[in-house]
Structure 1
Amino acid sequence: MEKSKSFPGYVCSNTGEFGDQENSQNSYNFNGPRTKDDAQLKRKKRVATYNMFTTEGKIKSTVRDSFKWIKTKLSDIRYSV
């Protein structure tokens, strides 16, 4: 660690000309702070979205099949007389 020339009591934790902020775990970029859990969080959100689409498709299929069943039953009753 090197001491700051402007502030004698301040110790700079960065090393090198520009510091090691690119390599630190909690450094900031244009999209906000980076953490290790970002990838895991994005994966969880993506999987939840896939599960939602699957459930939505199952519900649509069930409703469609129910209408078909009702339609065929009513047709059978009407035309069987």
Structure 2
Amino acid sequence: MEKSKSFPEYSSSFSGEFGFQDRSNSYTFNGPYSKADPELKRKKRIASYNVFTMEGKVKSSVRNSFKWIKNKVTDVRYSSV
């Protein structure tokens, strides 16, 4: 391993203690490089789909509740006249 003449504490090899051969901290054009399990990615994606589904159900339930309240108030208001 050849040492630099101006900086003898640094070697000319990149495979030193900083781990430049390890790609865990490198970036690709699509974001950080990771060796994530495809099955784990699929599970996360499905979980996010389930969250969107539940949000839609909650919104629909709230919307239907307001419609029901509005209809009841309207019925009471106009039926007593």
> Which range, TM-score by smaller chain?
0.5 to 0.7
Structure ranking higher in strand proportion: 1
TM-score, L = length of structure 1: 0.58
Pick closer, same or farther for the CA change 1:80–1:50 going to 2, 3 Å: same
Query: Which residue is equivalent to 2:9?
Result: none
Q: CA deviation at 1:57?
A: 0.3
Summarize the alignment of residues 29-40 of structure 1 with structure 2, pairs less than 5 Å apart. 30=27, 31-35=32-36, 37=37, 39-40=38-39
Counterpart of 2:69, as a letter, is: I
Superposed CA RMSD: 1.8
Gaps of 5+ in 2: 2-21
Q: 1:73, 1:80 → 2: CA distance?
A: 10
Q: 2:35, 2:66 → 1: CA distance?
A: 50
Secondary structure at 2:44 match in 1 = helix
Unaligned runs of 5+ in 1: 1-5, 7-26
TM-score by length of 2: 0.58
How high is the sequence identity, in percent, across the aligned residues? Answer: 56
What residue in structure 2 maps to residue 51 of structure 1?
50
CA distance in 1, matches of 2:79, 2:53: 38
